Amino acid sequence: MVTRREWLLASGAVAAALALPARSAFAQPARTVKVAIGQKTIAPNLVNLLIGEGLGYNAAEGFKAQFMTVGGVSNAQVAIDRGDSDISTGVPSFALPILAKGEWGKAIHFYQYTYPYKWDVAVKPESTLTSYEELKGKNIGVPDFAETAFPVTKNVLRSLGLDPDRDVKWTAVGTGVAAGVALQRGAVDALAYYDTGFGQIEGAGIPFKMLPLPKNVPMVGGQFLMALRERIAKDRDLMVGYGRSVAKASVFLAASPRAGARAFLKMYPEAAPRGSSEEDAIKSVLLATARRIKLYDPPYAGAKIGSINPEEFRIEAQMNDMKISSFDAFLTNELIDEINSFDREEIKRQALAYA
């Protein structure tokens, strides 16, 4: 488990993080909101967090976003704790152990930007493996040990009665196409990755097949936005504004994935495969995001976009034998009604008319 002290020791990585200011054709508002993202590079899996800048949704709320890729998810949490960011991405697999130890700081999750379940395990097309249970004794590749596929897949194996620390071997194989190449060359027996990562591998023409998801896969592994509680109290409109921008971007993407891909590439043309045409670049983003876009709306009847179901945290804590009596200091839905105060149909019309 990662301790709070270890997170603070990792703060040097935050200080050295590469800040990537998003580009926009709109006049820039006076305020800048720093958003720390717990991965090493800008990629299509972040699309609903990013394109609100290029579409003018951030400007409409009175701010400009500055996105900082800080490495791992633990570093994104450090950025919040130290005040290096205004908002950070967060995942329960790294945060819940801290909460269980009673060492949780002053950050609180206020918006869920991707819902479970987005991970799979893939094998080579000719592999004889047919189930997660058959992974016992095998070498499973993950992009990085600081990336969410690692702890989430461990939780799934644990739910099947396997000991993920003893029954399998784990190997970090890199992200994107590099992960697919590791599987293709037999460096690992299987690859645990998330939806947009597999989309990148598919776009590179690397063949694979997914193992069937176990029945009743646990609803864990959501991804969240968090901020300091005192910051939410002080700058509530700002936090609501960014949440609303992400919600609008999510609706925009669902209405027209192609328009969302074009908006993303206008902001980050360097994210396109090297040497690709505009059409091929758009296709690469569409392949990467096809599965993810389906996870922007909550899978719970009557729930509003961005709302957080604490049951996801309870399930993950229980799976890992964590004793947590209350999640009141860990999450809030108090901003959700305000975040959802926009015309979804108008956003859909914008997406369909996007040039």
Residue range 245-287, pLDDT digits in tens: 999 999 999 999 999 999 999 999 999 888 889 999 999 999 8
Q: Are 75 and 14 spatial neighbours (Cβ–Cβ below 8 Å)?
A: yes
Considering the domain architecture, whether residues 241 and 320 belong to the same structural domain is answered as yes
Q: Convert the pLDDT of each residue in 130-148 to its tens digit.
A: 999 999 999 999 998 877 7
If DSSP codes are grouped into helix, strand and coil, which group holds residue 227? strand
Considering the domain architecture, whether residues 93 and 63 belong to the same structural domain is answered as yes
Q: Convert the pLDDT of each residue in 59-101 to its tens digit.
A: 999 999 999 999 888 899 899 999 999 999 998 888 999 999 9
Considering the domain architecture, whether residues 202 and 228 belong to the same structural domain is answered as no
Considering the domain architecture, whether residues 341 and 238 belong to the same structural domain is answered as yes
Considering the domain architecture, whether residues 227 and 264 belong to the same structural domain is answered as yes
In a domain, 97, yes or no: yes
In a domain, 204, yes or no: yes
Instruction: Provide the number of structural domains found in the chain.
Output: 2
In a domain, 50, yes or no: yes
In a domain, 240, yes or no: yes
Look at residue 199 in the predicted model and tell me its pLDDT. Answer: 81
Percentage, residues of the chain above pLDDT 90: 67
Considering the domain architecture, whether residues 39 and 99 belong to the same structural domain is answered as yes
In a domain, 215, yes or no: no
pLDDT tier at 8, thresholds 50, 70, 90: very low
Determine the average pLDDT of the residues in 41-49. Answer: 93
Considering the domain architecture, whether residues 235 and 314 belong to the same structural domain is answered as yes
| Domain final position from 179, 210, 241 | 210
CATH number of the domain encompassing residue 127: 3.40.190.10
Considering the domain architecture, whether residues 260 and 190 belong to the same structural domain is answered as no
Considering the domain architecture, whether residues 189 and 299 belong to the same structural domain is answered as no
Higher pLDDT, 22 or 347: 347
Look at residue 196 in the predicted model and tell me its pLDDT. Answer: 78
Determine the average pLDDT of the residues in 223-239. Answer: 96
Considering the domain architecture, whether residues 112 and 125 belong to the same structural domain is answered as no
pLDDT tier at 329, thresholds 50, 70, 90: confident
Considering the domain architecture, whether residues 79 and 146 belong to the same structural domain is answered as no
Of the candidates 89, 91, 48, the one whose C-alpha atom is nearest the C-alpha of residue 196 is: 48
Residue 26 has pLDDT above 90, yes or no: no
In a domain, 312, yes or no: yes
Residue 163 has pLDDT above 90, yes or no: yes
In a domain, 267, yes or no: yes
Of the candidates 256, 198, 271, 220, the one whose C-alpha atom is nearest the C-alpha of residue 112 is: 220
DSSP state of 29: P
Look at residue 99 in the predicted model and tell me its pLDDT. Answer: 92
What burial letters (b/e) apply to 271-305, b meaning 16+ CB within 10 Å? bbbeeeeeeebbbbbbbbbeebbebbbbeeeebeb
Range of the domain at 230: 4-116+221-353
Residue 7 has pLDDT above 70, yes or no: no
Distance separating alpha carbons of residues 168 and 161, to the nearest angstrom:
12
| Domain final position from 180, 210, 240 | 210
Considering the domain architecture, whether residues 227 and 345 belong to the same structural domain is answered as yes
Q: What's at 115, amino acid-wise? A: Y
The position carrying tokens 């961005």 is: 306
